[in-house]
Structure 1
Amino acid sequence: MTNDLLGRHRAVLPDWLALYYEEPLEITHGEGRHVWDAQGNRYLDFFGGILTTMTAHALPEVTKAVSEQAGRIIHSSTLYLNRPMVELAERIAQLSGIPDARVFFTTSGTEANDTALLLATAYRRSNTILAMRNSYHGRSFSAVGITGNSGWSPTSLSPLQTLYVHGGVRTRGPFASLSDDAYIAACVEDLKDLLGHTRAPAALIAEPVQGVGGFTAPPDGLYAAFREVLHERGILWIADEVQTGWGRTGEHFWGWQAHGRNGPPDIMTFAKGIGNGMSIGGVVARSEIMNCLDSNSISTFGGTQITMAAGLANLNYLLEHDLQGNARRVGGLLIERLRAVAAQVPAVREVRGRGLMIGIEITKPGTDEADPRTAAAVLEAAREGGLLIGKGGGHNTSSLRVAPPLSLNVAEAEEGAAILENALRSIQ
């Protein structure tokens, strides 16, 4: 049946639509931190539909909210007042830390980043964007135009002029050997030099932790230091929180808070986990930025009642059960366990991350050279052992991505670590 479905998939869907595994997997249902495939095999899920099933599969509070809302009304568009949308916007505006915040809902992180770029360029009257090397911001025409990872940017044609900045990958590049303070200083000087050779950009867009790039991050405080330089010139800061938001990093509710010395970003985008599988994205911005557009607009599907009901229920569960604290505690145990294993596997260059956002970089032993074939072998071996993980990486790396639902318990973390240990040892 799976082979038949694969043939049908290939007959009607694009060749560039990526599938994991030599024998692609059909997931039929899930519960908690586990999913099942069409053959009845059970897997511990450490990727959550690309960090989207944030709390748990089939979370009763969310499925109940969706079912009850579906029994009333599913959709009306933004042309009508929408109580769940207003209620979720109020919660997010307050949690964002952005003063006098306005919230616009979309259906995805790509669309959220696209909207943020529209706002920034209109507000600043500039189509120049600063972005980070190794970054990823989505699939739309504008988003791929600011993506600093060539593996996910299929065209150089773009409505934007994009300039790429050093700093998103701590352990690679010309500043890797420096101390954290010296690294930040060098990146700031590089930014100043870059700004001296271009017309005033609209904004810098940055992921606090680079997701598709392999869960790489700069030292804490880099974006705060950048913010000082940007603020002097009126350049906006867009924090892409599509993968880092909602407490996943454990230490902070938002990734930007590790760089918050000079206050919150001007614009923040979010998506993925807030809907726990439902299609929610959005933008938060100061009112004068959000309101700068001088034409009418709507969103047909952004903020629809059924997704807002899911988002409200999911956010309530997240906060009431302190899943941020759980990500910090269980994630800390998991990353230390994986580092202990990696120390005995020469192909592992680095285990990095925070909370339940962990990257394992695979290279050819004794070198910094990427080894995508070995990374793919670990992915396959983990699946054989009953564990689903992700992969990614830029800067010529091959990284495994570990991002379980935030309700992961210690026993499941130990089970997943043991499967990963076996998978990593199998490549030696």
Structure 2
Amino acid sequence: MSTHIDVKALLVAAVASGQGKTTVTAALARKLVRMGKRVRVFKCGPDFIDPMLLERASGAPVRSLDLWMVGRDLCRDQLAQAAAEADVILIEGVMGLYDGTPSSADLAREFGVPVMAVIDAAAMAQTAGALVHGLRDYGPVEMAGVIANRVASEGHAKMVAASLRDIPLFATLPRQARSLPERHLGLVLPGEVSDIDTLLDNLADQLVFDEAAWELLRPVRIEIPPAPAAPAHAPLMAGKTIAVARDPAFMFIYPANLDTLRSLGATLTFFSPLADDAVPAEADAVYLPGGYPELHGEALSQADAWQASIRSAHAAGVPIVAECGGMMALADTLADKEGAIWDMAGLLPGAVAMQPRLAGLGSQGLATEQGVLRGHTFHYSKLETATAPAAYTIKHPSAIQGEAWYRVGSLTASYFHAYFPSNPAAVAALFSRSES
């Protein structure tokens, strides 16, 4: 029989991307941690970079919530685990509140989580009220309050607050002289910002926060599912060792993917192609996740030990799963944003080139013998290859053709980022020689 836990929880959303959701969520998380609260943060929708920043801000792991990619049951299980460990749950929404199928609003309604609206108030005053009331009533959703970003003065904040009528102004954040740095796939990785903790502390300090309004927030009842009678996954990879590339060129990976591999019985070992590490000799399979190989073209092109070892592994029939940046590093060449062309490992014949416009974005699924493996795509490069795709992903929810999925010997490669918990049996097959 299931039970429940009551915990304060908010979904931080906005009218569109670019309003400051990540900045505000990070500031709020750091503020609450400094108030002595145990804070768990989630990211709605597929994302790799924002969770890294939010983990730094909160001091706790950040996982994904998405009703399609992750699924309702796993979303519920993750919320339940967080509720058992934390005083506060923050969920950063994706895009605008109602954008996408399913949307951030759908997630909020599914689990009864009130919405905290972030608005960019830099170029408005009283119109803020119309905007927020529209956000609340369109769905509708339960609106807990508003955090106004880029507020110019105390007077400006008072005008915004008055316009909200029955919706409280929960907090304000002033215009920042220095914003969180960005690049083509989103924010710069937190580890690349030398004073990231100082920056987060400054954001928390500048968040003018209504503690009385915080105390009035109603708790959310999170359902605690009964404990499973059997292990979640059969140990389909027991006794197998998977070598996972992990360094600044290869770090776009869902933590849940690693959890899934371990739950399947695999042992994980990590190595750095960027440091010219060879593929570990004990590896029964290799996982090359996405990342920023285009920022490290020269170093990867000179990583002779890495390139020789991945070619040897491929020649020996070792299963290699390469996603997005991992696939880019296995093409013949990679052209960076400046047009410099670098030699890569050459397992997938073809040339990758960066481009200024987005080449792929959105949720997608890959049909396998074990069912659909769900995930997403987000990239600015294109691969030109004569290799015929073995299959294509299907875009969600349009059901039209998505990313090419290549098989070259024991290599499977695509721009598609798979979310492993969506189909562990398919994942086990990908990393097994029997499927090569």
**Higher helix content, 1 or 2:** 1
Is the pair's TM-score, using the shorter chain for normalization, greater than 0.5? no
Larger Rg: 2
TM-score between the two structures when normalised by the length of structure 1 = 0.29
